Amino acid sequence: MVVAVFAAAVIGYAVTQANRAEANRITSADQIQGVQTFDYAVGQQHVTTPVDYEQSPPVGGPHDPNWADCTGTVYDVDIGHENAVHALEHGGVWIAYDPAALSPDEVGVLSDLVDGHAGLLLSPYAGLDSPISLQSWNHQLTVDSVRDPRIEQYIDFFTFNPDTTPEPGASCENPAFVADPPTAEVPSPSSAGSNASATTSPSTAGASTSGSATP
């Protein structure tokens, strides 16, 4: 009798926890407070020159044909922004942080969150308006603390989300990029892995975008 009562209590607790988790599940971007939404069209141009992005960090637009590896990759340099935008096109979530605003321990928290988790990449980005900025294609969230629960909400909702990803199913793997990542100051040459031709003309992104803060 005692065993039966205990088993029923365990099952009841599990059901309650599952229902609570389902109730807290994010099902739309506007459920994450502070998310900004933009309007970059799919099929953006491939370029091999620096792009003057309207947002910083960028959330879409023309980009390098060589995408940044986003297989749960932790970078210790400010990687090429044009490469990172290409990773966003593949469904990745790019977490950028201001190295002057976070302690080594705080960077470690973000590294643990990203390392080895498919679809994620982390890199320093000097001069951010906030300590941490999360990007996916057409979306951005800035936060002040590595403990902000919206970080995981954003990751869970946007990583490889087929409704917000221009190229669902595209690869995040690019080991050659990991081995020698170009920095933001030095644009990368185009490399194998692109299925579109590149242009070498200068490019400006942002003219056709619109941004609005989600309540």
Average pLDDT per 10 consecutive residues for the chain, totaling 215 residues: 56 46 75 96 93 96 97 98 98 98 98 98 96 98 98 98 96 97 69 38 43 37
Q: Specify the pTM.
A: 0.79
193 CB neighbour count, 10 Å cutoff: 14
Question: At 95, which helix (H) or strand (E)?
Answer: strand 93-97
* Look-up of token digits 């969230």: 141
Q: What is the pLDDT of residue 182?
A: 96
Show the tokens assigned to 23.
């109730």
Q: What is the pLDDT of residue 83?
A: 98
| Backbone φ and ψ of 95, nearest 5° | -100, 120
Single-letter residue type at 189: P
Number of separate helices (H) and strands (E) present in the chain: 5, 9
* Look-up of token digits 């309207």: 54
State in Å, rounded, how far the first CA of the chain is from the last one. 52
Q: Walk across the sheet containing 132-136 and list its strands.
A: 73-74, 120-124, 93-97, 132-136, 139-143, 36-37, 212-213
Q: Which residues of 30-47 are buried (b: 16+ CB within 10 A; e: fewer)?
A: eebeebbbbebeeebbbb
Q: What is the pLDDT of residue 8?
A: 56
Q: What is the pLDDT of residue 2?
A: 61
Contact 65, 198 (CB under 8 A): yes
What whole-number distance in Å separates Cα of residue 151 and Cα of residue 156?
9
Helices (H), 33-166: 81-89, 104-114, 150-158
What whole-number distance in Å separates Cα of residue 34 and Cα of residue 153?
12
CA angle 204, 165, 210 (to 5 degrees): 45
51 Cβ contact list (under 8 Å, min separation 6): 58, 61, 62, 63, 81, 82, 85, 203, 204, 205
Q: What is the pLDDT of residue 3?
A: 59
